[in-house]
Amino acid sequence: MVAQKGSHIKLARILSAGDRQTLTIPNHQELDRGTLMAIYRQAIRYIPENELKNYFYAE
């Protein structure tokens, strides 16, 4: 965790090439479907969709 403002948490990682990747997520027990999709769209900028999909969708 890099920072928290209210109920939102900012996560970050720095890759070996020096690139910084950040993801902001709400710290709530439940998330609306639209919020979850927004987090998913943020995450696929950094992680290939075929690797990430298993964490968001049940088969």
**Beta carbons within 10 angstroms of residue 10's beta carbon:** 13
What pTM value is reported for the model? 0.70
In this structure, are residues 56 and 40 in contact, taking their beta carbons and an 8 Å threshold?
A: yes
Residues 13-37, mean pLDDT to the nearest whole number: 90
pLDDT at residue 4, as a whole number:
85
56 — pLDDT class (breaks 50, 70, 90): confident
Strands (E), 1-51: 3-5, 8-14, 20-26
pLDDT at residue 59, as a whole number:
67
56 compared with 8, residue with greater pLDDT: 8
The C-alpha atoms of residue 31 and residue 8 are separated, in whole angstroms, by 12
Domain residue spans in the chain?
A: 3-56
Smallest CA-to-CA distance from 21 within 34, 10, 30 is with 10
